[in-house]
Amino acid sequence: MNFDTTIIGAGAAGLFCAGVAAQLGCKVLLIDHSEKVAEKIRISGGGRANFTNRDLDVRAPEKHFISDNPRFCRSALSRYTPQDFTALMKKHGIAFHEKHKGQLFCDRSAEDLIAMLLRECDASTNGGSVTRWQPCAVQSIAYAVPSEEVFQAKSATTRHEISAECYQINTDRGVVYSDSLVVATGGLSIPKIGATDFGYRIAKQFGHSIIEPRPALVPLTFDDQSWQPFAGLAGLALLMQIATGEKKSRMYFDEDVLFTHRGLSGPGVLQISSYWASGTPIRMNLLPAADIAALLMRAKQTSRKLIANELSQLLPSRLAESWASQKPDWQRPINEASDKALTQLAEHLSQWQLTPSGTEGYRKAEVTAGGVNTRELSSQTLESQKQSGLYFIGEVVDVTGWLGGYNFQWAWASGHACAQGLAAKLR
């Protein structure tokens, strides 16, 4: 069982890389320990897969991505763009739509996208092919000189000059010999669909360093005491500005935020979670488009309603009542409140600061930040600079996109760059 390349991981990056490589003439083995192919695609976007984002700026794609080496992703993302992937979708007749801020979703189902990727694997040319083993567990990997018998077998079946050493991959379906190895195993997020640290272990085996993995695009949680006044707001959502960091490192998003029993979720919180550092606060402006102090002072001149009732003209009533109940000065008719009390209320609403106690962890995280150190990879091909013929693509690499299709675009772009590199070596 000899192949030009073996790809471990049949998710978005691995599946796409396999199809492109086969169409460029590579004989590919695609392995995954899970029985289902591309399960993360299947469950994403409410079952419709937010597969890319039109707003990705190919001239500066790094502004939508987080990495210890921010410019690394530019090469792959600028050479395989959202327009390239949507052209592939159109070629296969898959309808899609823009939902919000450039986010593109399948009209019908994520299953259409998975079926397209499998068809691309079957469309191999120039002697290329994709053999897919699922489920198949990898037991060990070695890079060594094969036995004379295996070397002769490889010499008889290959279409190019072979090197003395190759990858020996021991699986529960037998031993595989491969000139190159692509690690597309993903990160640690959503362990219930099979996420493991296997990719990081392979990287360490071959001398690579790992940027500390952490949950990203994940809900934030708070300790019971600080969250007690807001625990009853679970299910409430509103548009607000949410920020973290100081001065030059400050990041903010204007997005919907969802209150939960344990803390905050929703698009705004998922976005900011990727930038949040443990032990630091987040800041929220509940009415970013309004001058809250001016509105309250104006109401004081014309209204005798309770402050909570006036606030409910600006905020959801449950949230308004929760805020007004926190201090006696905010529990009276607005015309009887002091200017100082109203100013203080306005400041709290526009600069609400809380320090999360943590996150919901990998079980709720959409992606994993951190991963294989990109300073040890080629930005052109994703090949290791430490080990010939070893590649890392997709989420296992220290490149993490914003919410909204950016992470899938990294999967397509890194997979495409890797496939080009594999084919160039084959030629």
Asked if residue 113 has pLDDT above 60, the reply is yes
Considering the chain, what percentage of its residues have pLDDT values greater than 70? 96
The per-residue b/e assignment along 59-98, b for 16 or more CB within 10 angstroms, e otherwise, is: eebbebbbbebeebbbbbbeebbbeebbeebeeeebebee
Residue with tokens 């488009």: 289
- Which residues sit opposite 237 in a β-bridge? 258
Instruction: Tally Cβ neighbours within 10 Å of residue 413.
Output: 31
Question: Exposure of 419 by Cβ count < 10 A (0-12 exposed, 13-18 middle, 19+ buried)?
Answer: buried
**C-alpha to C-alpha distances, 276 to 42, 176, 246, 271, nearest whole angstrom:** 28, 43, 11, 9
pLDDT on residue 160: 47
Instruction: Report whether 25 contacts 127 (CB < 8 A).
Output: yes
Tell me the C-alpha distance between 19 and 261, whole Å.
Answer: 44
CA dihedral 81, 88, 37, 406 (to 10 degrees): 20
Tell me the C-alpha distance between 26 and 423, whole Å.
Answer: 6
Per-residue pLDDT tens over the stretch 204-217 = 999 999 999 999 99
H helices then E strands: how many in the chain?
14, 21
The arithmetic mean of pLDDT across residues 294-317, rounded, is 95
Per-residue pLDDT tens over the stretch 316-334 = 999 999 999 999 999 999 9
Calculate helix-pair angle for 406-426, 12-23, nearest 10 degrees.
Answer: 30
Domains detected in the chain: 2-215+368-426 (3.50.50.60), 220-359 (2.40.30.10)
* Three-state secondary-structure class, residue 87: helix
Least confident of 57-61, 113-117, 378-382: 57-61
Six token digits for residue 176: 């595989």
Instruction: Report whether 217 contacts 274 (CB < 8 A).
Output: yes
Per-residue pLDDT tens over the stretch 151-206 = 565 555 555 444 568 999 999 999 999 999 999 999 999 999 999 999 999 999 99
The arithmetic mean of pLDDT across residues 52-66, rounded, is 91
pLDDT on residue 151: 56
- Please list, in sequence order, all residues whose beta carbon lies within 8 angstroms of the beta carbon of residue 58, skipping any fewer than 6 positions away: 77, 78, 81
Query: Structure pTM?
Result: 0.94
Looking at the chain, how many residues does it have?
427
Asked if residue 1 has pLDDT above 60, the reply is yes
Taking all residues of the chain, what is their mean pLDDT, rounded to a whole number? 94
**Strand extents, DSSP E, 298-425:** 352-354, 358-359, 367-372, 390-392, 400-401
Tell me the C-alpha distance between 131 and 211, whole Å.
Answer: 32
Six token digits for residue 293: 């102090």
pLDDT on residue 249: 85
Asked if residue 148 has pLDDT above 90, the reply is no
What amino acid occupies position 408?
F
Asked if residue 416 has pLDDT above 50, the reply is yes
CA 133-165-136 angle, 5° bins:
15
> Pairing mode, if any, of strands 282-285 and 263-265?
unpaired
Tell me the C-alpha distance between 369 and 400, whole Å.
Answer: 6
**C-alpha to C-alpha distances, 330 to 28, 191, 323, nearest whole angstrom:** 67, 46, 8
pLDDT on residue 226: 86
The two most distant CA atoms of the chain are separated, in Å, by 94
Which span out of 1-5, 159-163, 364-368 was modeled with the highest average pLDDT? 364-368
